[in-house]
Amino acid sequence: MPFLTSPRLLIIGLDCMEPSLVFEQWRDQLPNLSRLMAQGSYGRLESSIPAITVPAWSCMMSGRDPGELGIYGFRNRSNRGYQKMAVADGRAVKFPRLWDLLGDAGWQVAVISVPGTSPPYPVPGQLVSCFLTPNRDLPHTHPPELADQISQWLPDFMLDVPHFRSNDKDSILKNIYALCDQRFTLAIKLLEQAAPDFLMLVDMGVDRIHHAFWKPMDPRHPQYEPDSPYKNAIRDYYVYVDQRVGELLSYCGDETAVLVVSDHGARPLMGGICLNEWLIAEGYLVLKATPDAATPLDEVEIDWSRTKAWGAGGYYGRVFLNVQGREPQGVIPLREYEQERSRLAENLAAISAPDGQPLDTRVFKPQQIYQKVRGIAPDLIVYFGELAWRSVGTVGSNALYTTENDTGPDDANHAQYGLMIFYDPCHPSQGKWIENAQIYDILPTLLHRYQLVPPAHLRGKVLPI
């Protein structure tokens, strides 16, 4: 029997949306989000470690941490060989996610561009895969014929913002708005066509605009551009997203519950720590020949017989130890592993800022922060300066610090806290502030709201929304 309102539950995912900008700086310019806050409950949402799109959305939707999922980043070691990193797409997620559990309870679902849904798979309803889909020539919808329908509605349907790490700012901005429009328009089309009980979309535009346009906005940024024509680009986009949220809500029923959520926040990128350069200087990593310019580590020859550790770049650092009996040419005896790992963690945490001041770096051991550790985890996860500094994996610069990103122009890094706003017209909360919310709490909270039995051993708790 169909439900009286469509959808019963709407989730609007805004990748990387920063809580301080919504809750404080621009709240009076965001009437739709502000109204949801005033009538519902809201608060900061602590992300996974690492606080990145892959794996954070899968953590949120499955209630499992990266260790349980075996997903430690956009790319993961696929085996114990050296430099063998593979993209972690949806096939890596082995646990049911919210829409799967709702489907088991008889709900019809519509899932649009949630990271971790490529390649698409059968759901009770419709699914459009995420930015991990290489191109539209590959399967990107369930059912497959939905792709033809989308092509009729949106002939230039985009999977992501192309080349968002470049200096072609006008094209980036144009494509960010186009991507946003397509996601919200598609959501409206699916509401009208299929009347699902549950609809979730994720807009990647918020993340992309932070990475491309943070410098003109934020005086804290070391390369602040106060006179840039793009100084209001991020604010204007937040205002536009708020308008699209309001439009989508107008197509929902009076009893539709609404969750607006981000997987992590954002902050100015202060610079980069050349992780592998540091490992070389400290004697952990030995190259057979040093390149003359910054070069990816997998393009240089490494003397593995003398190498104890190597690292990977990204918004956070990952360090892998070369262990006897585990890696092909391991040099660290297993009995010395924990001692070596702890010493390396202490040394990484002691790296100072360029001015000699403490950097406030946190180093994590997977076994201490995850419920389980599956797959091939890093031996150490490093937050340089609480994510103010990214990890740069290239070698050849002969420098510890850099202001250049090794993957292209980038203005922002991720922050550990995203946001959540929950409005339930059946149980209004009148602006309640939620404390201590974590990304793992979303799934058990929503299942509890709809009186569904959660899977065993979820990490999160039920929030008082």
Shared-domain flag, residues 291 and 393:
yes
Taking the mean position of all CA atoms in its chain, how far away is CA 103?
A: 25
DSSP H or E segment with residue 210? helix 205-213
Task: Determine the pLDDT at residue 406.
Answer: 66
Shared-domain flag, residues 207 and 104:
yes
Helices 233-249 and 205-213 sit at what angle, rounded to 10 degrees? 170
CATH number where 28 lies? 3.40.720.10
Task: Determine the pLDDT at residue 78.
Answer: 84
Separation between Cα atoms, residue 134 and residue 179, nearest integer Å: 16
Q: What are the angstrom distances between the C-alpha of 163 and each of 133, 233, 345?
A: 15, 17, 35
Per-residue pLDDT of the chain (465 residues; tens, 9 = 90+): 334 468 999 999 999 999 999 999 999 999 999 999 999 999 999 999 999 999 999 999 999 999 999 999 888 888 898 877 888 888 888 999 999 999 999 999 999 999 999 999 999 999 999 888 888 888 899 999 999 999 999 999 999 988 888 888 999 999 999 999 999 999 999 999 999 999 999 999 999 999 999 999 999 999 999 999 999 999 999 999 999 999 999 999 999 999 999 999 999 999 999 999 999 999 999 999 999 999 999 999 999 999 999 999 899 999 999 999 999 999 999 999 999 999 999 999 999 999 999 999 999 999 999 999 999 999 999 999 999 999 999 999 889 999 877 666 889 999 999 999 999 998 888 899 999 999 999 999 999 999 999 999 999 999 998
Q: Give me the amino acid identity at 112.
A: I
Shared-domain flag, residues 285 and 261:
no
Separation between Cα atoms, residue 452 and residue 465, nearest integer Å: 16
Shared-domain flag, residues 300 and 433:
no
Q: Which domain holds residue 157?
A: 9-268+414-449
Shared-domain flag, residues 137 and 264:
yes
Separation between Cα atoms, residue 47 and residue 57, nearest integer Å: 9
Domains: count for the chain: 2
Closest-CA residue to 351 (of 382, 321, 320, 322): 382
Separation between Cα atoms, residue 14 and residue 10, nearest integer Å: 13
- The full DSSP string for 140-207 is -EESTTHHHHHHHH-TT--SS-TT-SSS-HHHHHHHHHHHHHHHHHHHHHHHHHH--SEEEEEE-HHH
Q: Flag whether 4 is in a domain.
A: no
Question: φ, ψ for residue 206 (rounded to 5)?
Answer: -60, -45
Closest-CA residue to 79 (of 376, 332, 320): 376
Its pTM stands at 0.95
Q: Flag whether 456 is in a domain.
A: no
Domain-terminating residue out of 360, 386, 409:
409
Task: Determine the pLDDT at residue 71.
Answer: 94
CB 56 within 8 A of CB 37: no
Polymer length in residues for the chain:
465
Shared-domain flag, residues 303 and 338:
yes
Shared-domain flag, residues 292 and 194:
no
Q: Flag whether 454 is in a domain.
A: no
Shared-domain flag, residues 94 and 159:
yes
Shared-domain flag, residues 147 and 56:
yes
Shared-domain flag, residues 226 and 120:
yes
Shared-domain flag, residues 69 and 131:
yes
Closest-CA residue to 76 (of 66, 68, 67, 86): 86
